């Protein structure tokens, strides 16, 4: 059975999303999400009513926003994150978000066609925070190969 790579990343906003300080970030979401969707290896992303995931608040802190997606392989995700216009916004992360001391991105393998739930993703992030990188939930810098059936 083939597998695909799921990921969630979270961030704690410095300001409300509708503030002037967050305007440039919020205004870029449509473009950055479209870039992801047109990138080789993109499979799926979590979306809400505004075609992004900013309306979801699955943590006990309403300042925490999420982004979740599925990719065909780690290389495709890495190319999007680090070798596209997305990188320009990643470099500016500190302007919009606080520094998180715990892991804020986690990757894990899912069966092809499976679209993970937010609860599943939260559990994977917690697993990474508690156990470090494992085959079940791992950091970008410590990838595990897809399971072999």
Question: Which residues neighbour 22 within 8 Å (Cβ) at sequence distance 6 or greater?
Answer: 13, 14, 15, 16, 96
Whether the per-residue pLDDT at 1 is higher than 70: the answer is: no
Query: Are 40 and 79 spatial neighbours (Cβ–Cβ below 8 Å)?
Result: yes
**Rg value, the chain, Cα:** 15
Range 6-10 average pLDDT: 98
Rounded to the nearest angstrom, the gap between the alpha carbon of residue 6 and the centroid of all alpha carbons in its chain is 8
Mean pLDDT of the chain: 95
pLDDT value, residue 35: 96
Q: What is the percentage of the chain residues whose pLDDT exceeds 70?
A: 99
Please tell me the predicted confidence (pLDDT) of residue 149.
73
Instruction: Give strand pairing partners of 39.
Output: none
Structure letter (DSSP) for residue 116 = -
Mean pLDDT (whole number) for 18-34: 96
CATH of 3-131, one of 3.90.1150.10, 3.40.630.10, 3.40.50.300, 3.30.70.100: 3.30.70.100
Average pLDDT over residues 94-116: 96
Quick one: which H or E segment has residue 120? helix 118-131
Rounded to whole angstroms, how far apart are CA atoms 85 and 145? 27
**Is 80:74 a contact under the CB 8 Å cutoff?**
no
The per-residue pLDDT for range 32-82, each reduced to its tens digit, is 999 999 999 999 999 999 899 999 999 999 999 999 999 999 999 999 999
């Amino acid at each position: 059975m083939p597998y695909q790579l799921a990921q969630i990343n979270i961030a704690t906003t410095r300001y409300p999303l509708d503030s002037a300080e967050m305007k440039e970030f919020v205004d870029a979401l449509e473009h950055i999400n479209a870039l992801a969707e047109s990138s080789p290896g993109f499979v799926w992303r979590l979306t809400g009513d505004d075609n992004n995931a900013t309306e979801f608040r699955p943590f006990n802190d309403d300042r925490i926003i999420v982004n979740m997606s599925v990719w065909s392989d780690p290389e495709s995700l890495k190319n999007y994150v680090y070798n596209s216009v997305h990188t320009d916004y990643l470099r500016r992360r500190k302007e919009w978000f606080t520094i998180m001391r715990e892991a804020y991105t986690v990757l894990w393998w899912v069966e092809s066609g499976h679209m993970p739930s937010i609860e599943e993703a939260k559990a994977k992030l917690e697993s990474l925070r508690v156990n470090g990188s494992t085959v079940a939930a791992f950091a970008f810098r410590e990838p595990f190969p897809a399971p072999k059936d």
